[in-house]
Amino acid sequence: MEEKYLKLIDNQIAKLALDDFDLDAWKSSTRYVLTMIFGAADSKIIEIDNLKIDYSSWALRDSKSDYKPIESCKKKGKEILLVAKDELELFGVKDRNQTDLLKSILNDQTDKLLDKKTSIDERRAVLKKLSKDQLADVVLDLLK
């Protein structure tokens, strides 16, 4: 299984070199891959989400003359994925259960959601507070 995950990460790294590279599309697919492997609460996902092309006058003013914002994002993204590969090769895939995933996403709402005494409407209200990405992460983890 780890070999397949490594292949997925390699595919994401290869996408960085494509001529028609789109940062937002790459971030979405990379987020999906990393969530599947490491779980929704992994810090590498946050780092990927924080990648952005900064063309603001301040960023351009304070940078070197050879600064290329898209190349900077690609380098950071590649480094994050190389760390992910190293982690996977050294430590393997960690077992996670749904309760841990829910706790990482819902924080203090997990007990309320898992409590059998909580009504469907109350559970729905808790889930409505989640972003689409968070809901997708929960469903993906349940499908493993």
Mean of the per-residue pLDDT values for the chain? 81
The torsion of the CA quartet 69, 14, 35, 80, rounded to 10 degrees, works out to -50
- Checking if the pLDDT of 109 tops 80, the result is no
Rounded distance between C-alpha atoms, residue 31 and residue 50, angstroms: 11
b (16+ CB within 10 A) / e for 67-93:
eebeeebbeebeebbeebeebbeeeee
Burial of 18 per CB tally in 10 Å (0-12, 13-18, 19+): exposed
Instruction: For residue range 23-58, list pLDDT tens digits in order.
Output: 999 999 999 999 888 887 788 999 999 998 865 555
- Tell me, what's the pLDDT at 34? 92
Task: Map out the domains of the chain as residue ranges.
Answer: 2-91, 98-143
The pLDDT of residue 79 is above 80: yes
pLDDT at 31: 93
CA 141 to chain centroid:
13
Residue-wise pLDDT tens digits, 80-103: 999 999 999 998 877 554 556 566
CA-wise closest residue to 82 among 6, 2, 29, 18: 6
